[in-house]
Structure 1
Amino acid sequence: MGHSFDAIIIGAGQAGPSLAGRLTAAGMSVLIVERKLFGGTCVNTGCMPTKTMVASAYAAHLARRGADYGVVIEQPVRVDMKRVRQRADTVSFNARTGVETWLRGMRNCTVAEGHARFAGAHTIAVDGVLFQAPRIFINVGGRANIPDMPGIRDVDYLTNTTMMQLDTLPRHLVVIGGSYIGLEFAQMYRRFGAQVTVVEKGARLVGREDADVSEAIRTILENEGIACRLDANCIAFKRHADGTEVHLDCDSGARNVAGSHVLLAIGRRPNTDDLGLDKAGIETDERGYIKVDDFLATTAEGVWALGDCNGQGAFTHTAYNDYEIVAANLLDGESRKISDRVPAYALYIDPPLGRAGMSEAQARATGRPILVSKRPMSRVGRAVEKDETQGFMKIVADAQTQQILGAAILGTSGDEAIHGIIDAMSARVGYPALKWAVPVHPTVSELIPTVLGDLAAPVPT
C-alpha cells in the first residue's frame, strides 16, 4: 500500500518549504521530495547567486568610475573571477543549507531525496517506494530552454546554470537572447572585463516592454561597449578556432560573430516532462506547463501546482505568493486567487527596471481612455547626486476609474521605487490619493507624486 501522509510536496523551491511549514503547523503529516538542490532555482542558480555577481560587477564598474566621485583608484581595475564565484557560491550554499536544515528539523515533516513520479491519482513513487496522500502539491520549477537551432549540438554552450560554474573570464561572451536573463549576464560580464555581444532574433531587446523602454536599455548597454545584434533571423552555430561561430543573418552588419563562450538565454521550460502526470490525470498545455485554475488547482482532484511549473508567473515572488494563496484557502477559509495579484517584476541590469501592471502598449490595446506621464531620471535629485541619471519613470492610468494601470521605473533604485506603485495598485487606490503623499527627500520614490500630477492623454500613435 505504501506510506501514507496527509500531504505530499514535490519540490523544495520557493513555495514548497513554506507550505510544509504551514501544513505541519496545522497538524498535518507532510512528505517533501527533492531530487537535487534544496531551495530551487532562486537559491541555487537564479536570484541569489546572480545578484551576488551583479553586486561584484557593480563594484568593478564603480571602481572604474572612482575619479568621477573624486576618489582616485589605481587603473586598470582587476577582477578576481575566482573570488567572484566564491562569493556567489557561499551565498547559495548558506541559503540552501538553511532550507534543508529547516525542513529536516520540522516536526511532522519527512524529507525524501529522489525523483518523484506519479503512480496514480494520489500516489507517487520515489526510487521504487510508494507514498500516498489526499493532497499533493507540485513545485518542481523549470530549467533553461534549449531550442533545436542549427549546429547547436556540435558546439559547447552555457546556460544560466552552467554559467554559474565559471571562475574564469570569457574573452568574448556571445549571449543568445536579448531578454531578462541574457541582459543581466551580458552587462555583468562586460563589467568583469569580457567582450560581449548580445544576439536577439526580434527587432528590439526585451520585446515585451514598451519601445521606449527597450531603446533606453539598448542605449545603456551599448554605452558600456556591449554589441547588440538585433533582427537575427536565422541563428546557427559551428565550431571556430576561437571557440564558436554564430551565424546571425541580421539585416545589417556582419553576418557572423565568433565567441570564446556562448550563453543560451532563450527562455525557460517547466520540469514536467518526467513526472508521470498522465497517470494522475494532470493536464499540461502545449509548452508543458501544468494547467491550473485561479486557485492553483490542477485538472486532478486534490492536486495543486505552484511556482514556475504552472506558467503563472515564473518569478520567486509569484511562486511564494502561490504558496500564500494555497495556504490561505486550505487553512484560513479564504478565497484568494491568482488573478488578485498585480503582475510585477524587475530586470536587474544597472540601472534596474522596475515594472508593475500593464505596459503603455498593453493599456492602449484595451481601447479604454488612458493617461500617461513620463519623466527622465535626470529630474530626480537622488539620481543626480549619485551621478546615475540614465533612464526614466513612466506611469499609465485609467482616465475614467483613476486606477493606476501600470508603471515602468528604469533608473537607479527603480526596483525598489516601483513598490510604491505596486502597493497602490494592490490596495486599489486611485492615483489622486498618491498625488498628495509627502515622500522623503532625497529618494527616487519622491518623483512619483510629481509624475502622477502630470498624467495626460497620450499622443496618438
Structure 2
Amino acid sequence: MTQSFDAIVIGAGQAGPSLAGRLTTAGMKVALIERKLFGGTCVNTGCMPTKTLVASAYAAHLARRGADYGVTIESPVKIDMKRVKARADTVSRNARTNVEKWLRGMDNLTVITGHARFEGRDVVRVGDSQLRAPRIFVNVGGRASVPDMPGVGVVDYLTNRSILELDTVPRHLVVVGGSYIGLEFAQMYRRFGAAVTIIEKGPRLIAREDEDVSEAVREILTDEGIAVRTGASCIGFKPHPDGVSVDVDCTAGDPAVIGSHLLLAVGRRPNTDDLGLDKAGIATDARGYITVDDSLATNVPGIWALGDCNGRGAFTHTAYNDYEIVAANLLDGGNRRVSDRIPAYALYVDPPLGRVGLSETEATRTGRKILVSKRPMTRVGRAVERDETKGFMKVVADAETKQILGAAILGTGGDEAIHGILDMMNAGATYPVLQWAVPIHPTVSELIPTVLGDLKAAGG
C-alpha cells in the first residue's frame, strides 16, 4: 500500500523541521522521515555538545588564571570529566527532545522513524511503507570522513561523534587534521588536562584563512602547550602498547608521535550513499554531494536538497538559510538564491575567530584594487579589561566602490562582533557608513570604526 502526501521531508536536521512547519501551515499533508536522532548534526554531534564542552574548558582555563585577576584558588583545578560529559549530553538531549516533541505535535505532519530510500522520482520507501509525493526535500546531513590512510584499519580512532562519548581525559590526544573541528577539540582537551599534538599534512593550520590568521591561531595553541606538527608528509598509524603510534614526517622532526587516543578530523562527507539516489535519477558530484542549482533544486523536478548534503554550505546557519530560500521561493513567490548569501562562520577556539566574506588573499585574487586595515586586540578596551588581548581585527574593502569585501576578528568576542560587519555587508552599505557609527564603550565592536578609518591600499 502506498501512502500519498503533498510533500516528503527526509531528515530532521536544521532545515527539515522548519520546512515541515511552513509546508503544513500552508495546508499541505507532509511526511517527515528521520532514521535516528532528531535535530541533526548541530544538536547531536556538532554545535550544541561541542560548544558546551568548549564552555567547560574555558571555565577550567579561567580558573587556572585566577591569580591574574587577583582571585586565589588554593588547590589545583580538577576536571570531573563525567560531569563535563553529562552537561553536554543534557544540552543535546533537551534540544533533541524539544525538536521531536514539536514535530510530533504538528498538525498535518506524519513523523516516520526509519531509513528512507528512493524507489523513483516521487516514491520513497521506509521499511515496509511506500510513500509518494510530488515534492521531496532531502536534508540528510553529513558525517566524519575517514580517509584510507596507512594503518587506519588496524588502530582504534575517534571521530567528532565518538569523542563525545569520552568521560575520562586522555593521557595524550593526537589530532590528525589542523582545521576547524580538530583545533576546537585540541584546545578543549588540553584545557581539560590532556597532552595534545596536532598533526596537519599541509604547510599551516586552517589553510583557507590568511596566513597571518593561521599563524596567530597556531601561536594561541602552542602558548597553551599544544604541540603542532605541520607539513606532515607521511601520516600513518600503527598499534602501540600505550595506544597508537602516528607516523608524522619522513624528513624532519620526530618521525612518530605516541598517543593514548587518536582523533581523526580530516573532513566531512554527505550521508547520500545509501538513499537510492540513482533510482530517482538525482545527480551527485564526485564527492557524493547532491548537485543543486541556485534555488537548491536538484536536476529532478520536484526534488530539492538542503543542508550539508548539497555541498553549498557546511554550517547550521547555512542549512537554516537553505530552508528560508526554499520556503520563500515555493510558498511566498520569492526569488531567493544561494549565491546571494554572504559567507560567514566562526572557529571556536579561544579566543574565537569570526569571519565574513572574502579573506585578504581571496580579495587580492579577484584583481580589484583593495584596501586593508589591521589592528591588534591590545587596542580594544574590553579585551584589555578582561586580560584577553590575543588576536587582531582585519577588514578588506574595495578601493573603488567602498564596499566591505570581508573581515576577520580573531579575539575575545570576535564571533559576536563580526556581525556588525556582516549586517552592513548584507545591507549593501559602504564602509564610511559604519566608520561614522558611534559604538558603545567598552565593547569589542567599538574598535571597528577605528579599523575602517585606517584602511589603506594593500601592501601600503
Q: Mark yes or no: TM-score above 0.5.
A: yes
Alpha carbons 1:376, 1:392 under 8 Å: kept: yes
Q: Match of 1:125?
A: 125
> C-alpha separation between the residues in 2 aligned to 1:327 and 1:341?
16
Equivalent runs, 1:220-369 vs 2, <5 Å: 220-249=220-249, 251-369=251-369
Report the Cα offset of residue 50 of structure 1.
Answer: 0.3
Q: Match of 1:446?
A: 446
Deviation string, structure 1 residues 85-107 (Cα, Å, up to 9, x no partner): 00000000000000000000000
> C-alpha separation between the residues in 2 aligned to 1:131 and 1:216?
53
Report the Cα offset of residue 249 of structure 1.
Answer: 1.2
Alpha carbons 1:231, 1:251 under 8 Å: kept: no
Q: Match of 1:72?
A: 72
Letter of the 1:51 partner, please give it.
K
SS of match in other structure, 1:164: helix
Deviation string, structure 1 residues 194-227 (Cα, Å, up to 9, x no partner): 0000000000000000000000000000000000
SS of match in other structure, 2:76: coil
Q: Match of 1:49?
A: 49
> C-alpha separation between the residues in 2 aligned to 1:147 and 1:192?
28
> C-alpha separation between the residues in 1 aligned to 2:332 and 2:166?
46
Report the Cα offset of residue 128 of structure 1.
Answer: 2.6
Letter of the 1:147 partner, please give it.
P
Alpha carbons 1:229, 1:250 under 8 Å: kept: no
Q: Match of 2:114?
A: 114
Letter of the 2:244 partner, please give it.
T
Alpha carbons 1:210, 1:361 under 8 Å: kept: yes
Deviation string, structure 1 residues 293-325 (Cα, Å, up to 9, x no partner): 000000110000000000011100000000000
SS of match in other structure, 2:36: coil
Alpha carbons 1:171, 1:194 under 8 Å: kept: yes
SS of match in other structure, 1:238: strand
Equivalent runs, 1:16-35 vs 2, <5 Å: 16-35=16-35
SS of match in other structure, 1:75: coil
> C-alpha separation between the residues in 2 aligned to 1:199 and 1:307?
29
> C-alpha separation between the residues in 2 aligned to 1:75 and 1:386?
23
- Is residue 13 from structure 1 mapped to residue 10 from structure 2 by the alignment? no
Report the Cα offset of residue 392 of structure 1.
Answer: 0.1
Equivalent runs, 1:84-99 vs 2, <5 Å: 84-99=84-99
Alpha carbons 1:231, 1:250 under 8 Å: kept: no
SS of match in other structure, 1:356: strand
> C-alpha separation between the residues in 2 aligned to 1:19 and 1:74?
53
Report the Cα offset of residue 241 of structure 1.
Answer: 1.0
Letter of the 1:55 partner, please give it.
A
> C-alpha separation between the residues in 2 aligned to 1:121 and 1:271?
19
Unaligned runs of 5+ in 1: none
SS of match in other structure, 1:437: coil
Report the Cα offset of residue 253 of structure 1.
Answer: 1.5
Alpha carbons 1:11, 1:139 under 8 Å: kept: yes
SS of match in other structure, 2:137: strand
Letter of the 1:94 partner, please give it.
N
Report the Cα offset of residue 74 of structure 1.
Answer: 2.2
Deviation string, structure 1 residues 334-369 (Cα, Å, up to 9, x no partner): 100001111000000000000000000000000100
> C-alpha separation between the residues in 1 aligned to 2:340 and 2:81?
43
Q: Match of 2:416?
A: 416
Alpha carbons 1:187, 1:226 under 8 Å: kept: yes
SS of match in other structure, 1:420: helix
Letter of the 2:372 partner, please give it.
V
Alpha carbons 1:64, 1:77 under 8 Å: kept: yes
Letter of the 1:362 partner, please give it.
E
> C-alpha separation between the residues in 1 aligned to 2:135 and 2:126?
17
Report the Cα offset of residue 250 of structure 1.
Answer: 5.6
Letter of the 1:233 partner, please give it.
S
Letter of the 2:73 partner, please give it.
I
SS of match in other structure, 1:18: helix
> C-alpha separation between the residues in 2 aligned to 1:32 and 1:250?
51
Report the Cα offset of residue 252 of structure 1.
Answer: 2.9
Unaligned runs of 5+ in 2: none
Structure 1 residues 394 and 13, CA gap change in structure 2 (3 angstroms): same
Q: Match of 1:403?
A: 403
Letter of the 1:372 partner, please give it.
V
Letter of the 2:419 partner, please give it.
H
SS of match in other structure, 1:42: helix
Letter of the 1:61 partner, please give it.
H
> C-alpha separation between the residues in 1 aligned to 2:140 and 2:251?
40
Q: Match of 2:177?
A: 177
> C-alpha separation between the residues in 2 aligned to 1:329 and 1:455?
39
Alpha carbons 1:233, 1:249 under 8 Å: kept: yes
Report the Cα offset of residue 251 of structure 1.
Answer: 4.5
Deviation string, structure 1 residues 372-427 (Cα, Å, up to 9, x no partner): 00000000000000000000000000001111000000000000000001101111
Q: Match of 1:382?
A: 382
> C-alpha separation between the residues in 2 aligned to 1:281 and 1:421?
42
> C-alpha separation between the residues in 2 aligned to 1:156 and 1:281?
38
Identity of aligned pairs, percent? 74
> C-alpha separation between the residues in 2 aligned to 1:173 and 1:251?
23
Report the Cα offset of residue 75 of structure 1.
Answer: 3.3
TM-score, length-scaled by structure 1: 0.99
